[in-house]
Every structure is written in structure tokens, then in C-alpha cells.
Chain A
């Protein structure tokens, strides 16, 4: 039997991949299928699922709901559509800001001397490995009404005799944006660094040799060659931001509700797993669509292995 195994290469491969396959089917494929199935179901009184086939959850998400004022049969409420849209714009804005902040730093570190480069890289890793929740909490401390920023501003104002009332920074969409940018900045720095580091020095010299000043060298040589890193970083930022709920929960409070919060609430508070599943599925599809078009245009970032 061993001999047969030795000869059958294909079987060897199958054997090796089986444990992983079991795991992925069991904990990824089946759950996703289940989610899809349940999304077509309805909620029963205990918060469980009545299997069936109904599109009412999806209708609600787009805006057609049965919960109408004036006792109408059905009407348009864009509440959930707004939530989806808000998540999309937040993810988009976060990604742009993160790229703008990450790029100069990645460039500086990539072109630094090797000894310093390692230290500078390690400096980026420390916030990255500090827990997610802790980092959000830090911003909570900064942005509170009596938090650090307001205290400092108040102190400065009192020095100059300017009247000052504390800024409402926490529980605003701005706070959520800042929190997101802070959370995901290191995830963009590393891939961009990796692709910039690969550019051999002779390329900069060649461009200069051929008549390009530093700005044009950046535009025509550096930027295009760093795109794989930017793409990888975007994937590492955009997708989690779309699905996040902690940042909006802690820094946005009740004011800022994203898809993630919506889903979380459905499963924990409102106990409507069918609606939550529908929202989850829509989220997944949206993310996949955006990722698909993005990677088609810009290529798939091999720099995802940026550890």
C-alpha cells in the first residue's frame, strides 16, 4: 500500500492537504453557506431561525421595510442603506489618509542606512503588536471632553486669556476616522516599505543619469514600482475597516453606526440572526467586489507577506 502511495503523487498531495481542507470547509465554507441560507430565513420569537426562503431581510437593507410610520404596508427607509454607504466612505477615506501618512515614513525608512533601518522598522512594529483594543482606548483618553487634548488646549487658552470650552471630539465620525487611521497605519507602512526597499539604488541613479530631476524620478520610477506595496496595504486596511465595530463602538458611541455594529447588534442585542446574516453577506459581497476591481486595475500585492 505504501508503494502505491509513493507512486501516486496526486494522492500524496491530497493527503497532505486534507487536515487543512477539513478545517477550511468546516469553519469557513460551511459557515458561509449557512450564513447565506439563514439570511433568507425569518426570526422566530426566541431569536432563533425559521428556515425558509424570503428576501425580506435584503429588502430591509436596501430600504424597503415593513416598519412604517403612518401604518403603511411598506415604505422606504434608507437607514440601513446609509449605514452601508457610511462604512464604504469611511473605509475609503481611511485608506487614502493612511496611504498619505504611511508613504513618506516608508520611503524614509526604505532609503535609510541598514543599521538605522532595522531600528526604525522595529519602532513601527511596537504599536502594531500592541493590542488593537488598547490602541483604541488610548485615543479615547485623548479625545474625551476632559481628555488630554482638551486639557492641553484649555491650558494654552488660559495662558492667552482666550475663553475656551472643551471641544466635543469623542463620539463623532471624526473620532472614528482618526481611530481607524491610527489602528491601520502600520499595516500600510510595512508593505510599502517592502516594495520600496526592493528598488535597487542603481535605478535612482539611472533615472537621474537620463535627465530626471528628483520629482520626476519619484513620479516615473519610484511610485510605479511601489504600487504592489500600496495595493497590498490597501487590502490590509480596506477590508478590516469595512467590517470593524470596535472602533466605532468605543470612539463613536451611539452616534456612529457602521455595518459591523449593525451585524454585532443583530446577533447580540436585537437577536435577529437572519437579518444579521443578510447584512454580513452584503458586507462580504461589497468587499469582494471592491477588492476584485481594485486588484484587477492595480495587480495583486505580493507584499502581503510583509512580516
Chain B
């Protein structure tokens, strides 16, 4: 793979405007900047309508930006049609050619490159190996299961060894178990072949599991871009904190700033909460305190002088490896996830309803964000 630029794909100030059925103009992609490094597994994550698919299609060449520019390997793409771009797409609906066999589907792209027959045979064989579909060459797509069709779609795009592989929610139609298997397989293939993957999904767990970096998108804008750890542990906004994983949110105003920490007065708790000032807030600004359920410790007595609050257990949900405890603190329901580290059948080892407990927030695990 050539390294003409440090980035495999770049989007610079890209805008895509559509006319809605009602007649107004809508920015499906709203001034997006994105850079995707060579060889990385990059995901665009968001709910429907956030602009992730449109962005992907602009990289592929099925749509052209209304403003801004798409760069592939450092070259501006302009109005280049898809069949001239060094990228290939795995479609959400697979888009397999029903009138061709598995072999012919996969060979199609190579035939377009005018590769010699011998080479085609070798390469198709190799990629069928990779997706574990040996022996299926002669079958027609109609005779395959969903998972098998998905792998043919993948093979068909992979066999061309593009610089960038674009995947548009490829696992959406599969059942849970199969999806999880395919997630691992896709990641393994990506690491083995070394191609840059650009992956679009609305499933945050999927994005976290597979990606090297994620771009969280909403309403056409990139809300945050970073590694899974960065996104999860250091969300840049309430939206991201809410979208990824579970969070407890407490609203208040900044009372004090102490280095990289801040204290927020939360009216409902009638108390201050101290945490990391991620949002870089000033005194008096509105803030939201965000604590992930697994970061809270429950105890019988308060563990700290500050950041410990009294509450009563509302309900518990036993998941097996974890227990989800819902604690009523001053009228707020705080979610706490605790790992069941002890193997016990004794009911006393588990929380009971109305039990009085204290929730303890570690300041270094408590995030203060702008209320956006």
C-alpha cells in the first residue's frame, strides 16, 4: 500500500446538503473533519440520520460533497466516479449479483481490472479461504444463509486489495451470536491484511470492540473522535457520555476550581461533588456531573467526607456476573454496577430492597462536563 500521505482518508470541512420531502434544505453532513490513518480500524458511530452513512458514501464516490473535499491517499477526489477510486464497499444489503455464482461475484472486480484468469483463480481461492467459504464457489447467493452472504460480500470487496475498505453496517441483519462471531472475524482479518477499514455502525458495543478509533456523530456533526478508551473514559460532552455506555448524570453549577478538578453544587443532593474538570468549565458555569455505574462503590458507611451520599436500594437486577443496583439518592435513581466477586447462595450477600447504603464517588472517576 502506497503511503503518499500520512492519512488513508481525509475529510476536510465536508458538507452534504439534501432537499427534504417537505422542500427544505438539510445538512446531512455538517462541516465534518475526519482523518483516518493507514492500517487502522476506524468506526463512525451514531444513530440513524447522524450522517455516518452519507459520509461513507462520499468516500466511496456514490455522493459528492456539496462543500469541502474528500481525500484518499492524499489525493483530492472531486467528482471521481466510484469505479476509479481505490476503495471498495461492503453494502448493508450485501448487493450480491443474484445471477452470478459465488465465484463469479467475487471474481467480478478482478475481471474489471482485466486480471489474467490464472491470477483471478488464485486470488479468489485465497480470499474464500480467508472468509472460510471454501467449496461454495458454485453456489448461487440465493442458496446461502445470511451469514454466508455477508462473507461473500466481504470477500468480493477484499479480493481487490483496496487501500481502504468501507463497510456500511454489514452485520445489521445477523442474529446476535453470529454478529459477535463476525465482529471478531472482521477484526482478525483487518489485522491480518493490514487494510484500512472504515466501519459504519449504530451499535456502540460493536464500535468499542472492534475499532482503533471512533468518530461519534450526531445530526451531521462529529461529536468526538478518539480511541475507544478515550471516548469511554473521557467523553467530551454529555451527548457522548450518554450515547456510549451507561452514565449517571447530576446537574449543577461550578462552585470551585482546583487545578484539573472542579466542584459542582448539585441542588438535588444539596451538596457539592468533586470531579475532573473535563469540560474546562469556569466558575458559575452550568455543568453536568457524569459517573459511570461501574465506578461507584456502595458501602454501609460513607467512605469519604465528600462525594459520599446516603441512599436506599430501590431494586436490584441480577445479571450473573454483575448485579445492577438502583439506589434512590434524594429522589434521584443512581445506577451502580457491581461485580459479583463472591460466589454465594446466601441472600444476605446480596442487596435487599430499602436497604440503607452509601454511594461513594471517587473524584478521579467522576467527570465534570459541559451541559451540552
Do A and B come together as binding partners?
Answer: yes
Query: Which residue of chain A lies nearest to B108 when distances are taken between CB atoms in the complex?
Result: A210
Within 138-172 of B, Cβ neighbours of A (below 8 Å) are at 156-157, 160
- A216 at interface, CB cutoff 8 A: yes
B18 at the interface (CB under 8 A from A): no
Alpha-carbon distance A213/B84, docked complex (angstroms): 9
With an 8 A cutoff between CB atoms, is A285 at the interface? no
A202/B95 contact (C-beta < 8 A), A210-B83, A211-B113 known: yes
Report whether B89 and A205 are in contact in the complex, using a CB–CB cutoff of 8 Å: yes
Contact A209 B89, CB 8 Å, known A216-B112, A220-B108: yes
Q: Interface size on A (CB < 8 Å)? A: 17
A202 and B156 CA atoms in complex are apart in Å by 14
The reply on A208 being an interface residue by CB < 8 A is yes
Say yes or no: A209 contacts B93, CB within 8 Å. no
A246 interfacial by beta-carbon distance below 8 Å: no
Q: Tell me whether A205 and B82 are in contact in the complex, defined as CB-CB below 8 angstroms, given that A210-B88, A210-B108, A211-B160 are known contacts.
A: yes
- Shortest CB–CB separation between residue B54 and chain A, in angstroms? 14
* Interface flags, A263-282, vs B, CB<8A=1, else 0: 00000000000000000000
Give the Cβ gap from B196 to chain A, nearest Cβ, in Å: 16
Chain A binding surface SS class: helix
User: If A205-B82, A211-B160 touch, does A221 touch B93 (CB 8 Å cutoff)?
Assistant: no
Known: A209-B60, A210-B88. A202 touches B99 (CB 8 A): no
Contact A206 B113 (CB under 8 A): no
Q: Is the CB of A211 within 8 A of B109?
A: yes
Flag if A211 contacts B83 (CB, 8 Å). yes
Complex alpha-carbon distance, A206 and B157, angstroms:
9
What's the minimum C-beta distance from A293 to chain B, rounded to whole angstroms? 21
Do B82 and A208 touch (CB < 8 A)?
yes
- Asked if residues B109 and A210 are in contact (CB atoms below 8 Å), the reply is yes
| B106, closest chain A residue (CB) | A210
Once bound together, how far apart are the Cα atoms of A272 and B266, in whole Å?
107
Cβ-defined partner of A207 (8 Å) among B99, B108, B157: B108
**Residue in B closest to A217 when the chains form the complex, CB atoms:** B83
Residue A79, interface by CB 8 Å: no
The answer to whether B91 touches A210 (Cβ under 8 A) is no
A224 touches B (CB below 8 Å) = yes
* B304 interface contact, C-beta 8 A: no
Contact A225 B98 (CB under 8 A): yes
Give the contacting residue for A200; candidates B61, B82, B87, B93; CB below 8 A: B93
Chain B residue with minimal CB distance to A208? B82
| Complex Cα spacing A220 to B104, Å | 11
Besides A200-B93, A225-B99, 4 more A-B contacts (Cβ < 8 Å) are A206-B156, A210-B108, A210-B156, A220-B108
- Offer 18 A-B interface pairs, CB within 8 angstroms, sorted by A: A200-B95, A202-B91, A202-B92, A202-B93, A203-B95, A205-B60, A206-B89, A206-B97, A208-B62, A209-B62, A209-B82, A209-B89, A209-B157, A210-B156, A210-B157, A211-B109, A211-B160, A212-B112
Of all A-B residue pairs in the complex, the 3 with the closest CB atoms, nearest first, are A211-B112, A210-B109, A202-B95
